[in-house]
Structure formats: C-alpha cells, structure tokens
C-alpha cells in the first residue's frame, strides 16, 4: 500500500521514518521524496499487513498521512489514448493494451509527470 506523507516545518528535521520502522518493525520503501529545511512530501510503500500500524504511528508523530488507494484518476471521456503518460511515467504505471492506455495504480508514486504531460488534461492526482 502507498502512503503520502506531508511533513510540517516543526518536525521535518526529526528521524520520523526511522522511528516508525523501529516501533512497528515494518519494512518500508521510500518511492518519492521532496524534502527541504521547512517541509516535506514523501510517498512510502508499506506492506498491507503493516499499513494501518505505520499510518497510526506517523500520525502520532504529527505527520499528515494519506492512503493512496487510487493515486491518479483518468477521465475516460477526455483520454484519447495518445500515450503521453506512457512515455513520461518513470514507474511504468501506464502501458498499452490493445491500443488503449491502461494504468496500474499500485506503481504510481504521484510524481505528477503524467498529469503535466497529458495534452487533454485527462489525468489528475488524488489528494484528499
């Protein structure tokens, strides 16, 4: 399962992920991270069995956590299956099947490259 973490200025310098790994024993994979001196946004991949435990532990530390069940949404009425998203996606979330673009949400790390590349604005990131 994928978790989107938003880290506020007051806690961005603390070892949040390491603390949660030690507390929960979960194996996590950092799939995308953008962190500076005052804030951060991180996408983690966590096993389904440990996802709730990791989410709860991060929230106790003050992290805003969003479960990314469907990280990118496609408007089928706008998509012309041009493949711009296929070409730009760094994780291979999109591919062609029978000349139609198909997505595998479990691969998406919400980098936004597909949204920017889509000439018909058929894609948007899910941010609750």
Q: In the chain, pLDDT over 70 holds for what percent of residues? A: 98
- Is residue 35 very low, low, confident or very high in pLDDT (cuts 50, 70, 90)? confident
Tokens of 119: 């000439």
Give the chain's domains with CATH numbers. Answer: 2-67 (3.30.70.260), 72-125 (3.30.70.20)
Structure confidence at residue 36 (pLDDT): 84
């Amino acid at each position: 399962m994928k978790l989107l973490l938003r880290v506020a200025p007051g806690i961005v310098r603390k070892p949040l992920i390491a603390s949660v790994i030690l507390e929960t024993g979960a194996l996590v994979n950092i799939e995308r991270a953008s962190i500076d001196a005052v804030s951060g946004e991180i996408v983690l991949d966590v096993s389904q069995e440990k996802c709730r435990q990791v989410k709860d532990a991060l929230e106790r530390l003050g992290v805003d956590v969003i479960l990314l069940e469907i990280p990118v949404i496609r408007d089928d009425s706008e998509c012309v299956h041009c493949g711009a998203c296929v070409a730009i996606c760094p994780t291979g979330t999109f591919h062609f099947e029978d000349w139609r673009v198909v997505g595998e949400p479990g691969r998406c790390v919400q980098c936004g490259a597909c949204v920017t590349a889509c000439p018909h604005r058929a894609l948007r990131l899910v941010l609750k």
